[in-house]
Structure 1
């Protein structure tokens, strides 16, 4: 096999491999939940909000978007909002900036330098990333104790509002309620 055939075959495998890696990377949020395992979740049918006004320091437009999305998601799962429900809902939003560094190795994502006489080089990608976090907490109204905690973390663009991304994150978190025994 000459260098051309090797590069052509290896390049095809590389393209297929990169395609599979890209397909496996989703834009879905990372979801984590925790809950009180002693609670009978079947008794919860109606909910109310812990707070009705916009918390200090929160964007009131974002508050309305998130609250409306939570209302829609809970209604889709059969829960009804009332003035004094069986459980109460609260949420918080946050974001964290971080630097993401990817080192593609001495030849980068290509086989440059193999058989073509090119010099080796390092290909490093550095980018700033913002992770948005949505936390939804549910409380038993009678006992005032927390019963369920759900967190969605996802890369966001803080310069624009993406309602579809907000809805998808909320739906993904609410899909974990009520909890199934043995899950977290």
Structure 2
């Protein structure tokens, strides 16, 4: 795992992030609880098992620090991070997967700050991606990483050589001497 600073020579950087899930009782015929990601904790310590952070005293609502995961950023993805930071409310995306434990039917599998990576995970049928507000310490850390590593690259439209040009314009097509557009007509 990389250090949490991600110096100028680093290709990536990592921060430990705790994921907080909310369990709330709902009035539904097929399920008792609604689980959702509500926040993340920057620089969270590793934990061995889920830790209760808050309960309303009636067991109708509880907040759990379920797991601490690495938030990994790469210098090749700074365009996506820059976009996220430019929004009114930057987000951390929590990827939830079905859990193996009846007590926690959903389990955080990954955290990312890349909207494009979150979109890719949301296209699978098993993963559920939930955005949560990005805390200030993560905003500052991510902004410093983007400032160190982002390079604006112009958008270049690619064209297959010769295939988008007509005959006589250096394409793969050639005009054949003696050829005619009427060649091959029946009855001549």
Q: TM-score normalised by the shorter chain: which range applies?
A: under 0.3
Whose Rg is larger? 2
1 or 2, which has the higher helix percentage?
Answer: 1
1 or 2, which has the higher strand percentage?
Answer: 2
- Compute the TM-score of the two structures, normalised by the length of structure 2: 0.20
Q: RCO higher in 1 or 2 (8 Å CA, sep ≥ 6)?
A: 1
